Amino acid sequence: MMKEKSLLVAFCVGFALLIVVNGGEYLIGVGSYDMTGPAAGVNMMGYANLDQNTAGIHFRLRARTFIVAESSQGARFAFVNLDAGMASQLVTIKVLERLKSRFGNLYTEENIAISGIHTHAGPGGYLQYLIYSITSLGFVQQSFDAIVTAIEQSIVQAHNNLKPGSIFINQGDVENAGINRSPSAYLLNPPEERAQYSANVDKEMTLLKFVDGASEKSIGAFSWYATHGTSMSKDNKLISGDNKGAAARFFEDWFTSSTKSSSNVITNSSTSSNNEKSNEKAEKIKATGGSRCGKTTSQGSKVRKNDGSLFVGAFCQSNVGDVTPNVLGAFCTDSGKPCDFNHSSCHGSDLLCLGRGPGYPDEILSTKIIGERQFQKAVDLFNSASEKLSGKIDYRHVYVNFTDIEVELNGNKVKTCPAGLGPGFAAGTTDGPGVFGFQQGDTEINKLWKKLRDVLKKPSQYQEECQKPKAILLSSGEMFEPYAWAPAILPIQMLRLGKLVILSVPGEFTTMAGRRLREAVKETLIINGNGEFDNDTHIVIAGLTNTYSQYIATFEEYKHQRYEAASTLYGPHTLSAYVQEFNILAKSMAKEEKVAKGPLPPDLYSVQLSLSINPIGESPPPNIKFGDIKQDITQPKSGSFEKGDRPSATFWSADPRYDLLTEGTYAVVEMLQGERWIPVYDDDDFCLFYRWKLDNTTWNSLATIEWEVPKDTSSGVYRLRHFGSSKKTKDAPNEYFTGASSAFTLS
């Protein structure tokens, strides 16, 4: 009898869900998971700077996911936003394998999009093509595993959270968060085309707001806006989500604080008598020696414990190719004058031309400001969102060999080329200059560089003709030893959510290239859609999605051969090929027709090479324990720290690669409440810095925790606490430790 009742209840609930969803709502779910990766000794992905190896954490990286479904058995898709430089074909392949073992064919390459925010401050070594792992000394298993696991867990979380709800869409302009870093190339686009737009970058942000149908409470928000993750420079060594990761942290904390009841807010009197008592109490609490702790102890000290119920706010990337967050412009470091307009160089040198963020010369401040500008616009759009999405969920996905696509252009047939990079690629950008001796706009290569190039691979005559006016510095599409240097087969994908269509592109479209793609797809949908699509259809580009294939410039921009054009892999007609192939997808979606899957990309996991060295065991110096203080808090003469001060302490520690402390923390600020220490900030906070380095004399690891005291911090007694793990030998079990600084007073 009980079994029959259970079946009846399940049937009724399922039937009710179907009615609710079909009545104008969807099933919605969001998820988030820590993907920070190794915080020591791993080269960062983005700037290709051999010296830029991780050495601590600015704030943690996360994978954030939303899932929408028409019903429990109906069409659905999952969109994953990574605090990473870009997506990776190999990551996608392995994530899909894991999801298949969990869910069968519910989530596949067809209906999952994995998109990177393009931070240049995350651990590298997770992409499968050789050119993207040279500076990381090949494949980094720990970095790869952290990302794959985070994507999987965020999807599982979102799946388990699915419930009836509504989705609202809103759009608006973000001011002064991005400028064009290649304006001379943009000006080569037709004047009549440029006249259609008010700026040489796209300012529009598109935001989705997810609302629980039962409680009418918001559970998440995802937005798309184009600006590079290069507020943090190529000299930075702290893991950071850059401006978009910062915006996500600000947004999630804002939502939590705005919905928290006043009874949970910590308040303290700042009277002089209380300060005196606090000082007396702080003086009695000295640094604790290092001590053993459990594997999950640091998770218990997290300020935001991930139980799957937290609000998820994601800031996704779009057609970012030529957009920089260094909005003050580019200047010569020697003279302070603006760089050369056409080549972004100074006296012929690309190394002297650097962009300046709004907090110049403080890159942390620039990251904060650009993050806040995106966050503030997202809050405005979130609070005013009123357009409710309804209608069909659909998706299309196909693999295309981009090295040999025939495109009809103005009555002529042209083709794409094998992947190749020009000298402008080596010059780098104003966000991060490249190699001495190159300039953006170069279409010639000197004899020395040609000889060095030919040692690796002399480009074929076909390649040189096909890629003109690009000179071939590196014919990556013709290089296959020890395995493929560049991708040939790329995924392209369209996701439909009513009148929102997301274009998943595996690269960085420039501003005008993105505009052309959006307009072409929209026109194709309207022409073929039998009234389902119109001028109110929202088209969004999700950049750096599912795999990575560098840049896509327009045909006119390609002639200039600045960095973006020199990095447009498949030749001058790359954009035309994308437009053609996406139009095929758009037509099939509008007509509700299927498309052929196309040739599968390779799985190169088994042939990956790695030259990076992992830690093999560590012991502290004699008479010292891991977690002991090396340099305690330097107490201020006044007896109390003030808002804006930066108290810090250094601990004897171990390499953070022994355990990533996923969903835990290496650093905590604790506040004394009664007789208990309560965590108030951790290494997921923008204001707390965890720095790792080797001691110059003992060659032991040191961990420095530095807290920039926020203006809204309550007065009271605080201390800094460190968590870590170690191994005596490579194969020994992990041992976990903790230690704390002396207490100090904040007035």
Closest CA to 739 of 659, 651, 663: 651
* 608 has a pLDDT exceeding 90: yes
pLDDT digits (tens, 9 = 90+) for 695-742: 988 899 999 999 999 999 999 999 999 999 999 999 999 999 999 999
Band (258; pLDDT cuts 50, 70, 90) = confident
Residues 6+ apart with CB under 8 A from 228: 118, 178, 181, 320, 323, 324, 325, 431
Could you list the beta-strand ranges (E) of 505-610.
Answer: 508-509, 538-542, 551-552
Q: Which residues of 311-346 are buried (b: 16+ CB within 10 A; e: fewer)?
A: bbbbbbbbbbbbbbbbbeebbbeeeeeebbebbbbb
Residues 6+ apart with CB under 8 A from 681: 303, 668, 669, 687, 688, 707
Residue 722, marked binder: no
* Cα–Cα dist 662/147, whole Å: 11
CB 248 within 8 A of CB 62: yes
Whether 159 and 179 have beta carbons less than 8 Å apart is answered as: no
Identify the pLDDT of residue 127: 98
Q: Do 339 and 331 form a contact (C-beta atoms < 8 A)?
A: yes
508 CB-contact burial (10 Å; exposed 0-12 / middle 13-18 / buried 19+): buried
C-alpha 638/C-alpha 634 separation (Å) is 12
Whole-number mean pLDDT of the chain? 94
What are the tens digits of pLDDT across the range 6-25? 434 344 434 444 434 444 48
For the chain, the maximum distance between any two Cα atoms, rounded to a whole number of angstroms, is 87
Average pLDDT over every residue of 147-165 = 98
CA separation (Å) from 2 to 10, 11, 13?
Answer: 12, 14, 16
**What pLDDT score does 281 carry?**
77
Helices (H) and strands (E) in the chain, counts: 16, 34
Are residues 324 and 229 in contact, defined by beta-carbon separation less than 8 angstroms?
no
% the chain with pLDDT above 90: 90
Rounded to 5 degrees, what angle do the CA atoms 492, 101, 507 make?
20
* Distance of alpha carbon 703 from alpha carbon 534, whole angstroms: 57
- The model's pLDDT over 468-513, given as tens digits with 9 standing for 90+, comes to 999 999 999 999 999 999 999 999 999 999 999 999 999 999 999 9
Extract the tokens encoding 360.
């110049």
Core vs surface per residue 196-233: b (16+ CB within 10 A) or e:
eeeebbbbebbbbbbbbbeeeebbbbbbbbbbbbbbbb
Lowest mean pLDDT among 273-277, 607-611, 737-741: 273-277
Task: State mean pLDDT over 315-334.
Answer: 98
Q: Report the relative pairing of strands 163-173 and 387-388 from DSSP bridges.
A: antiparallel
Distance CA 581, CA 507 (A): 15
Report how far Cα 253 is from the mean position of its chain's Cα atoms. Answer: 18
Nearest-angstrom CA–CA distance, 219 and 198? 35
The C-alpha atoms of residue 253 and residue 531 are separated, in whole angstroms, by 41
**What pLDDT score does 332 carry?**
97
- For the sheet with 489-497, list strands across it: 393-401, 489-497, 500-504, 538-542
Strand partners, 224: 206, 316
User: 3-state class of 690 per DSSP?
Assistant: strand
- Under 8 Å between Cβ of 556 and 389: no
Q: Which two tokens stand for residue 124?
A: 């590298």
Phi and psi dihedrals of 690, rounded to 5?
Answer: -110, 115
Interval 72-107: pLDDT, tens: 999 999 999 999 999 999 999 999 999 999 999 999
pLDDT tens digit string along 535-568? Answer: 999 999 999 999 999 999 999 999 999 999 999 9
Q: How many CB atoms lie within 10 A of CB 266?
A: 11
Estimate the crossing angle of helix 89-103 against helix 141-160, to 10 degrees. Answer: 40
Any known ligand binding at 118? yes
- With a CB cutoff of 8 Å and minimum separation 6, the contacts of 747 are 270, 275, 278, 638, 640, 641, 642, 715
